[in-house]
Structure 1
Amino acid sequence: MASDGGSLRFAVGARVSCNMGREGWASGEIVATQYREDHWPLGKTAPYQVKLDLAFGGALIYAPADFPRVIRAELPSTFSIPEEDSNPERTLEALHKEIPRLRDEPGVIRVSEPELMGVAEDGTELFVPRGDTGPWLVSVVIQGPADSAYERRLRLQVKVNSAYPLTPPEVRVQSWLHHALVKQDGVVDEAAFAEALSKLEEDKSDDNASRLCRTIRAVLLLLGHPEQLSEIADMDDVEDAAKANAKCLKTISEYGSLRRHQFLFNEEEAFSKDMFNPRFWTAYALNTADAWSSILTEEASEVYSFPIFTEGFCKDFVEELDSFHASGLPARRPNSMNNYGVVVNEIGMEPALDRLVHSFLQLVAHHLFPGVGSHFDRHHTFVVRYKVGEDLGLDMHTDDSDVTFNICLGKDFKGAGLQFCGNQGAANHRHASLLYQHKLGHCVVHRGHRRHGADDITEGERLNLIVWTRALPSRWNPRF
């Protein structure tokens, strides 16, 4: 602790990153040491006062303790546009050499070719990447570390800027999991990742590994053996997160033998042509602005509907949900508002739903909401149930999403319309703009900040598949 006047790790002028809790780490510069405020008791000081960079708000804050979990040396930038050493040709050449080697790495299931991000951030501004700017994404599917609470299929997103391989990649776990060294937005803690890489580099048998191979090995080390990163990890947090993750895996495992429609859990078999409404499949196959516009109905400003699933697919999905509920296995509430339903990502459907979101819904969102809808980092997908005697409806609210897809699966019901008002914070945010009536197999899509609510159901039961998509770069930009 610094309050005893002991030696400090950093001096005035040092570049550091500060732990901001749920908001992650923010970079800045130390402007004072042994800082104190007038109202503090005599003798109390904080080791550092830090001026945050404008990209993180520009505020003056203080670090209450001189611990690595509180304040640490700033790590090399992973910003989308590097400050120096930019060379996109070198970056792409390195990636094309490294990706084939990564595909042969143990535990690696699938690796994509590098793709430009649909939209990226530069500080607090969004831009559309080009071939001479980057950044690029490499999607990697791995098997989590053996004999751990994370031994399952995990989808990762490796982001590199145009200074790679001189600058480190940023790794985001797109699959939902609980881990003390994975932030709420899925980004792997930068300091823990750097320490894991350093430990691997100390292993001389690892000398010939490519940068991408070491990246994945570092992620596996961080997930499976966080105790080796003890200065970074709080072991109580590590154990609590592992228990929560193990509980989810236990449910998936126990339900495996009870599944009624196995194809719904298989990314190769789910969401094939025969499961989609023919009009949707035609638009998807053409993937042009005219094709998408031909199936979209503008119900109100920035609220659209379109046919997506066949009646048969909806029936199969509902039967699977009924089977899960009959199993008696534990299910987490879909969100803080709905009491009945299930997070389908957490019963084993996440691999298949990844395909639905990234291969199909992403195309619709890009057409309707370019920018915020052009790139999805993660999705929270769940089913809500409205039924007499349970949840009847839902008050006006906004979603914790950037773009929301709401698909009616059935069953037979009356009432339960979807009311829309204006966007949160707008002058008309309380003014009713639309009453939408759900149709089997149809989807209504809107921005997450659009206020909406569900009218009470008067008869029967309604089940809807809800996909909350999140485009994290857009959340740093006030325009979105």
Structure 2
Amino acid sequence: MQKFCACECYYTDNIFIEEYKLHVRFVSEDQFRKDYQHILRSQGCTTGPQLHTVLEKVQAEVERRKNIAVQSAERRATIKETYKPLHENVYRLQESHLAPEFLEIVKYCHMDGANEKGLLALLTTEAAPRVYRFPVFTKDFCRDLVEELEHFEQSDAPKGRPNTMNNYGVLLDELGLDEGLVGPLREEYLRPLSALLYPDCGGRWLDSHKAFAVKYAVHEDVELSYHYDNAEVTLNVSLGKDFTGGNLYFGDMRQVPLCETECVEVEHQVTRALMHRGQHMHGALPVLAGCRWNLVVWMRASCQRNHLCPMCDARPRLRPAPGHGGGFTAEPGQEGTCALT
């Protein structure tokens, strides 16, 4: 069984300060003050108590990351022991869960001679440059999955945050939806698409993922700041429910300055997915009413990121990690072994 690793930067870099929409690095208090005090002041963090509050939050996030593996395992064990599912059918992927149009798209990808041009003719919609929209699940499956997520949300079971930018949602591996649902979806259905659409960024070599559901609602998280994903390829499926607003917007790749970028707004349609490169900058506009659930799968190619960590832009400094870790597989000092063509 493949053993995955995390990059050391996970414990120091890309820490999101929500009040100031700022991602920071924290190694020490002196380093943090030197690097960010002037930036925070320019954004309204002008007093000693305000800066102290920011420091406390950043340090708490660093500690959370250091303990995340143990705490996640404890939550997973408790959930498995105490939580009773509402819809057991959503825990194992079946073809009846998938939209007929999606099955036809995947069938084409498995054919001899399948190519990007033929696949694009079936997708029909390029929502933004190299951002593709297509149906994935049936309406009935989306309804059942949302009901399961809300049933879990309302339970007494322990819950972890999906990521540093989303405060409401569910980590699918902790709930038990990873092995039977997301794993087969990535391996059997999504990788054939990404192999044709994104061969230049590891799309044919996706061998791990991080999957979570996020919730947007008034008085909770309503929007998502401009960012990129810790992924080679991202799948984002709108599950429902009824909502207005909340469109996504896409800029350019993260290497392109925002001042040189013209963003494209994209409507998120229930049962349909948006697939894009993880390093493609994007965000979500505010939900104005109702509640929106999204299934997000960050898909990773170890042979791509073993050479260069996409989060710190350096050769990864690896440490062992449980599960899929950060999607790295090389031992320290070694490189991955795939050809990116």
Shorter-chain TM-score: what band? 0.5 to 0.7
Distance 1:242 1:431, change over 3 A: closer
Is 2:197 the partner of 1:375?
A: no
2:215 is paired with a residue of what secondary structure?
strand
Distance 2:290 2:127 in 1: 25
Counterpart position of 1:314: 142
1:327 is paired with a residue of what secondary structure?
coil
The within-5 A match list for 1:23-102 is none
Asked if structure 2 preserves the Cα contact closer than 8 Å seen for 1:423 and 1:429, the reply is no
Distance 2:276 2:142 in 1: 21
2:204 is paired with a residue of what secondary structure?
coil
Distance 1:339 1:281, change over 3 A: same
1:428, distance to aligned residue in structure 2 (A): 5.9
Match of 2:103 among 275, 278, 281: 281
Asked if structure 2 preserves the Cα contact closer than 8 Å seen for 1:362 and 1:376, the reply is yes
2:199 is paired with a residue of what secondary structure?
coil
Counterpart position of 2:80: 252
Match of 1:356 among 182, 185, 209: 185
Distance 1:415 1:184, change over 3 A: same
1:326, distance to aligned residue in structure 2 (A): 1.6
Distance 1:339 1:430 in 2: 31
**Equivalent residues, number:** 244
Structure 1 unaligned runs (5+)?
1-155, 158-171, 174-182, 186-238
1:293, distance to aligned residue in structure 2 (A): 3.5
The within-5 A match list for 1:391-406 is 391-406=221-236
1:246, distance to aligned residue in structure 2 (A): 3.1
1:377, distance to aligned residue in structure 2 (A): 2.3
After TM superposition, what 4+ stretches of structure 1 lie above 4 angstroms from structure 2?
A: 239-244, 427-430, 477-480
Asked if structure 2 preserves the Cα contact closer than 8 Å seen for 1:401 and 1:469, the reply is yes
Distance 1:315 1:378, change over 3 A: same
2:104 is paired with a residue of what secondary structure?
helix
- Aligned-residue sequence identity (percent) comes to 33
Output the amino acid matched with 1:470. Answer: R
1:248, distance to aligned residue in structure 2 (A): 2.2
Is 2:158 the partner of 1:330?
A: yes
Measured against aligned partners, the alpha-carbon deviations of 1:324-352 in whole angstroms (never above 9, x if no partner) come to 01212111111010111111111111112
Counterpart position of 2:55: none
Distance 1:323 1:307 in 2: 25
Asked if structure 2 preserves the Cα contact closer than 8 Å seen for 1:421 and 1:430, the reply is no
Q: With a CA cutoff of 8 Å and minimum separation of 6, indicate the structure with the bigger relative contact order.
A: 2
Distance 1:241 1:294, change over 3 A: closer
Counterpart position of 2:290: 460
1:292, distance to aligned residue in structure 2 (A): 5.7
Distance 1:431 1:344, change over 3 A: same
Asked if structure 1 preserves the Cα contact closer than 8 Å seen for 2:78 and 2:158, the reply is no
Output the amino acid matched with 1:366. Answer: A
Measured against aligned partners, the alpha-carbon deviations of 1:192-242 in whole angstroms (never above 9, x if no partner) come to xxxxxxxxxxxxxxxxxxxxxxxxxxxxxxxxxxxxxxxxxxxxxxx9955
Distance 1:429 1:347, change over 3 A: farther
Match of 1:261 among 84, 87, 95: 87
Structure 2 unaligned runs (5+)?
8-66, 314-339
What is the root-mean-square deviation of aligned Cα atoms in Å? 2.4
Distance 2:101 2:188 in 1: 17
1:427, distance to aligned residue in structure 2 (A): 4.9
Distance 1:184 1:351 in 2: 20
Distance 1:261 1:312 in 2: 12
Output the amino acid matched with 1:458. Answer: L
1:252, distance to aligned residue in structure 2 (A): 2.5
1:263, distance to aligned residue in structure 2 (A): 2.0
Distance 1:313 1:429 in 2: 41
Return the structure number with greater helix share.
2
Asked if structure 2 preserves the Cα contact closer than 8 Å seen for 1:405 and 1:466, the reply is yes
1:452, distance to aligned residue in structure 2 (A): 0.7
Asked if structure 2 preserves the Cα contact closer than 8 Å seen for 1:279 and 1:295, the reply is no
Distance 2:169 2:69 in 1: 24
1:398, distance to aligned residue in structure 2 (A): 0.8
Distance 1:374 1:461, change over 3 A: same
Distance 1:413 1:241 in 2: 34
Match of 1:472 among 295, 299, 302: 302
Distance 1:320 1:467 in 2: 18
Output the amino acid matched with 2:224. Answer: L
2:126 is paired with a residue of what secondary structure?
strand
2:188 is paired with a residue of what secondary structure?
helix
Asked if structure 1 preserves the Cα contact closer than 8 Å seen for 2:228 and 2:279, the reply is yes
Distance 1:244 1:451, change over 3 A: closer
Measured against aligned partners, the alpha-carbon deviations of 1:258-288 in whole angstroms (never above 9, x if no partner) come to 111112223xxx2x22211111111222323
2:154 is paired with a residue of what secondary structure?
helix
Asked if structure 2 preserves the Cα contact closer than 8 Å seen for 1:283 and 1:292, the reply is no
Distance 1:245 1:327 in 2: 18
Distance 2:78 2:151 in 1: 17
1:322, distance to aligned residue in structure 2 (A): 1.1
2:269 is paired with a residue of what secondary structure?
coil
